[in-house]
Amino acid sequence: MLLLAATLLMCLTLATAFVVLHRQHAHHGAAVEPPAHPLNDDETMEQVVSAARQFVEAGRLETIHATYLLMSCRTEDEPPYQGTVYLDFALPPVATAPDYLSNLARTMAKRGWKPGLDPNQHPGGEIMVNNGVTALIYRNADIPGRGVLQIYGECRNVTDHRLDATGFVDIGDRLHR
């Protein structure tokens, strides 16, 4: 019985030490560390809107609905923030649709975008990265004939937006020149 009590006490002591040391030396990683060259709100928005514009032009995306959101890069709503775009668009007719997303990815690769990880949750989708911006393009599984483009900018906006009224902003008119 004494051995069992000593073992439990040792486990409790080690667990407590781990929690205390982890909090003192928490490492959040580069994605949430204060950036060396922060972006202001307009630059944060332009980073992802210009990326979305590149996809719209390269893919000749039609019937688009696009929104922008400033999103915290941490689990709470504190800085740093990144700009995000959610864009819904019409896919071409069924005859040309199977290769449409991979063809768009090849076109974007010619414009400097590089293939990213495999989008496991979106079969047939593509992930592309360029200058710290990540784009995920895939078929909308819930709405036949529609595609989705999600763009995530860099976590470089350090302005405190915790008290701001936030929400999606329509940016569809900013994507066609």
Domain assignment present for residue 2? The answer is no
Domain assignment present for residue 68? The answer is yes
pLDDT digits (tens, 9 = 90+) for 33-60: 667 889 999 999 999 999 999 999 999 9
Question: What mean pLDDT is predicted for residues 65-82?
Answer: 90
Domain assignment present for residue 139? The answer is yes
Total tally of structural domains belonging to the chain: 1
Domain assignment present for residue 36? The answer is no
Provide the domain limits for residue 50. 41-174
pLDDT digits (tens, 9 = 90+) for 116-166: 887 777 777 899 999 999 999 999 989 989 999 999 999 999 988 777 777
Model-level pTM? 0.77
Domain assignment present for residue 30? The answer is no
CATH number at residue 166: 3.30.980
Domain assignment present for residue 140? The answer is yes
- What DSSP line would sit under the chain, residue for residue? -HHHHHHHHHHHHHHHHHHHHHHHT----TTTSPPSS---HHHHHHHHHHHHHHHHHHHT-EEEEEEEEEEESSSSS-S-EEEEEEEEEEPPPTTT-TTHHHHHHHHHHHTT-EE-S--TTSTT-EEEEETTEEEEEEE-SSSTTEEEEEEE--S-B-S--TTS----EE-GGGS--
Domain assignment present for residue 25? The answer is no
Domain assignment present for residue 29? The answer is no
